[in-house]
Structure 1
């Protein structure tokens, strides 16, 4: 219900029109002293008790009654200062003429004496001790007559519209006017065919039944134009009222009112980290199935917009759920806002849900800077419904805020999805022409074909590599196709003048450009360097140069038939990056560059879908299924996840980081997909019976590790085996590189690794050998302790903690990964810690399944590791799912108090 200002004689209402005129509305303070000051300033009397008026929880005052000095500005928002008291025009606007019923009121003709009793007429309150002039009385009378006249005119107009449709049902009238689509008509007829709309009182929203609310919200979500048309007939409420109806405390579809209440408390407490956010939206497929829910004694599986199930026989079942999440621009908070069960997540429906969400966040004082969606057909429809123009010639990257005509919101497509579209287009065209040359897909195929090539057998090897007799080329299959590593590798192979790579200059330029674009829209760390760093006034010129170059090249892209790609069928990936570039420039010019804005820098990963994908990953873990869940399964999993990760010190924690989610989402964009698609054979490393631990004199391992005793040699064998197993499971390029020993003369060139190999074994890195050595020493130390009498799981966790504690004193492990730590968010559980955990768990699984039964012996007596049964490695495949129960809590205190909701 629309609220009105509580000041005597003020008729200002909290509507969209009022806010567009620059008015703001403020609730009475909760502080007792400050609240009493406001009450005395308002000076109203309760008509029933004849005593001073006490404001209720919904009482508000408009900004007309405060001085300009009472406000403080935060960019485009402003709020009252602490201790501000209303003092303007509290008695100036008089109550006017006599009206009928409850609206009757009376103007005080003379001031009340000091010793008079407080008097009130019927249901209204009046100011005390302040006389009104005769001119003010006449003005009030004229204003009141004008308002009554306007209301009568609208009433007559609506009466004519209703009379014109006498004998017709509302849905029939809308069909007659050709206002409904076929899909919307079928839905409304199925669910509201017997709805007696003319019998209800649509003027009082407090008296709306559940069916009336469901009809109003369904009509609004299907079509705002139809809703506005029906509002002229039925006096339907404003969309701001619908936002409150769709809020639920129960674990059911709709907005989560508990989350909104928490965010509102943080904003009201002056926490600036919660004043700005980005909004993510995504649809998730559901299995269409009706299920009986014993807890609610009802069938589940119907569409539900948040006001009850649309359970008519002819209504289609829910096939998708639309999820919404807010991500803090400052701080590190992210939280889901709610979900909705729909039959088809059309672009227009998602646009309506976005408008409601943005308005609801605005109601609690949070400003939405940008919206991010997938780059799908429905997402494009949603963008157009919001007012976004994606055409290259006439691009518009912002849309109007639903609650403020003076505010705009930027729009982004998810960068990872755009990369996938560009990859598909590149592979489909095979060759892409542009002003700097031609990019050929075949160069990537030739690159992965170099796997396991021996340097001694390759022609035209430079003299610097002539001494690497026992080295092979190993292509890091986890490397992204569009990356600096692949571009550098092609550049090096071009310098060798190898025939397959003689014309790869265009390919190198194209791959570098796409990589630079992704780095710009994936900055995660305020300490990041180059294009991976934050958006600052100091870095804007460099970033803007790349964005301008991308636009210049993308508009000239063409296939082998000279057809312009940006105007063809596979243009969305390129146009999406151009739209994101315009949105980023707009955000910089409006929020980062102006000195008055509280934006020292901007991290672009705040506009990534990685946050939402992390929540979905956790949701799937609760579901314990890879297939699409039913409505009932999704609802219960959502409730369990929300219960498990309730706000504890305002922090949501998870065992998976956003950086890992980003890498996992781009797994199908790595070089290994090219190997699989084109059947490039990759030689599997095996252990031979003889000579595996001989002739290590040329390895660059430390002197301590060159002790060729039987025990040392077997540990190095284990290290090599661990390296090869993890390289097949890890998805991080830098972590895989750290597992192998490389020659100092040619350690790494892009995605190419020059790895020494002897009798089928890739030499492990020195750091990996040291970790395996420490693992074995700790296991042997505790092998005779009482801990080994515990069950296997408890014993494994105990050993993991002891090994990690021992490793904490070694600071020179995997030094090549130091720079890699700044690629992700600033947190304790980084890739260095994860790599150590992965190595430890992998080693313990190998030792528990094999070495425990066959202790380390002399080489001639040890078990041939080549013949190990595959079942011994089943647990290794799941090593990444294991975790340290107590070790993770050891690092938890290092996290920022700002929290990582659902991180």
Structure 2
């Protein structure tokens, strides 16, 4: 803790963090949503004074008036460490039980003690007005201060119940205000996205750009975890991400785009089992129908590469991955060290698409390779 923090003292009781080991809290800055709490803070520091003026509240804040943690109850803090206040915390008198021993007068037998309870904190240096003017206050003995404080009446049970209800209502008001702000911003963005001018603009641009524009308008002012994307928007972003992850990271700094984790979750929903991938074949059939007959000329390629031996447990399929697996030809207990991939490539058009993969413990033999090639070709024939 810095020396400046150690020199500061509580405006109400004069306690300091260095001597008493307490935490100081600065007076609230007056705003449009916390004027009631600012007035309660000011009324506690300046009892009997008109604190409804906003200029007076700003003056208290600018003068760095502070209160220590002794003037707040346990429910005003976020945890038991008493270091951080809730947004709805208001200073209140805390009842303390301080024993005061008074010596017996001469002529009495023994020493009698008198215990005074319900003693509240008092200013350490004179009255509030004298503190504000910088004048020293009259020094009083400890017994006089305790007796005067003990004469105050404690709060009744009804007052305590009403105070707790007010605190709960203040918390609910803060939550509702945040919800209203979020809903108003969301309604405005939805109205802009559904505007006729935006629809006319979308009709004059490409479908991908129109989809991108709607996503920008809808999610530009939302938090990271509050953004929502349609499946078409995710697929468009995934195309950019798979083309160049570095370029996608640069675009995310300039525009509002889905996170890489969102795209990977979308990609994980596509089943990629060992062997021929039926989902890829269905997509290729639709692609072939949309192309010209002269462009539908393809070749089947295959290649084998070495892998680092490793075992991994897939909780979704409840399967241990990393062993030799030839799809319909079965698995073995040998750990896989090679991967065989089949790919379709276009002759007239630049099209490349992996369609099947297998794992082997060693190089695939010629007999097994012939069986796998026939298995892949049969799917094309069907």
TM exceeding 0.5: no
- Greater RCO, CA 8 A, separation 6+: 1
In terms of fraction of residues, the more strand-rich structure is 2
- TM-score, length-scaled by structure 1: 0.14
Q: Between Structure 1 and Structure 2, whose CA radius of gyration is higher?
A: 2
TM-score (ref. length: structure 2): 0.28
